[in-house]
Structure 1
Amino acid sequence: MMEKISDEALAAYDDLVAELEPAGVTRGQSFGMPCLKIGRKMVAGMFGNAMAFKLPPGVLEEALAVPGAGPFDPAGGRPMKEWVLIPLEQSAVWAEYGADALEYVRG
């Protein structure tokens, strides 16, 4: 089960949305979590006090090296391909990976 999202994490999410909205990202909901979308495609989403990003292979490996980051595995035992989970403590890099995810999903 997903942990409750803290006020601090929601504020960091709002900052990320504000940063990416000029590029066409919109707020949405997916699987019960606040997310960022481009059209109908999900770019990133809040999972507890962390943010999951859909990234291309080279950038994904780089993101997995961020302290505290790991594969996005919402169901436990079956990580989602192309997705990384970056904790709130590393929210300073969320905008960078959000932009990478947007570019990747947009194609």
Structure 2
Amino acid sequence: MSDRSTHAAAEERLDRVAAGFADVPGVTLPSAGPRHFGTATLRVQGRIAAFTPGEHLVVKLPSDRVAELVTAGTGRPFPSGRPPMREWVEIVSDDVDAWHAYVAEALAYVGG
């Protein structure tokens, strides 16, 4: 699969996962909101909670949770800058159920 098609598949996966949160107050679905980092974003109260800049999901979580996921091998630091942003983690799994759980966690954190 090319980078473009894997990115498109990731965006479609995020759209499917995000649809489950359509009724959550303050949530803007990726298909309805602005693009950022070159991709559609899932937002809550106008703030980005999740997006797919490549083939994987990236979510915003507390820095200690990000460190936990990286240590467990479940996530990788999101390399958007130097050093990587402490509250952003790239989830290595492409499992839709896992994405759903991480998106729920990110929405709760960002919208909290």
- TM-score, normalised relative to structure 1: 0.78
Secondary structure of the residue aligned to 1:81 is: coil
Asked whether 1:23 is paired with 2:11, we answer no
Secondary structure of the residue aligned to 1:4 is: helix
- TM-score, normalised relative to structure 2: 0.75
Instruction: Say which of 71, 83, 86 aligns to 2:88.
Output: 83
Question: Which aligned runs of 4 or more in structure 1 are off by greater than 6 angstroms?
Answer: none
CA RMSD between the two structures: 2.1
Q: Indicate if the aligned counterparts of 2:58 and 2:78 stay in contact, CA closer than 8 A.
A: yes
Percent identical pairs in the alignment equals 31
Return the alpha-carbon distance in structure 2 between the equivalents of residues 88 and 48 of structure 1.
13
1:90 shift after superposition: 4.1
Q: Which has the higher strand share?
A: 1
Return the alpha-carbon distance in structure 1 between the equivalents of residues 48 and 5 of structure 2.
19
Asked whether 1:60 is paired with 2:66, we answer yes
Residue 10 to residue 55, structure 1, CA distance change in 2 (3 Å):
same
Residue 5 to residue 63, structure 1, CA distance change in 2 (3 Å):
farther
Secondary structure of the residue aligned to 1:43 is: strand
Residue 59 to residue 19, structure 1, CA distance change in 2 (3 Å):
farther
1:104 shift after superposition: 0.7
Name the structure 2 match of 1:101. Answer: 106
Q: Indicate if the aligned counterparts of 2:59 and 2:88 stay in contact, CA closer than 8 A.
A: yes
Name the structure 1 match of 2:12. Answer: 11
Q: Indicate if the aligned counterparts of 1:44 and 1:52 stay in contact, CA closer than 8 A.
A: yes
Q: Which has the higher contact order (CA 8 A, sep 6+)?
A: 1
Which consecutive unaligned segments of at least 5 residues does structure 2 have? Answer: none
Describe the superposition over 1:42-101 as per-residue Cα deviations: whole angstroms up to 9, x where unpaired.
11111111111000134323432244x2001134x4311211001353443111111111
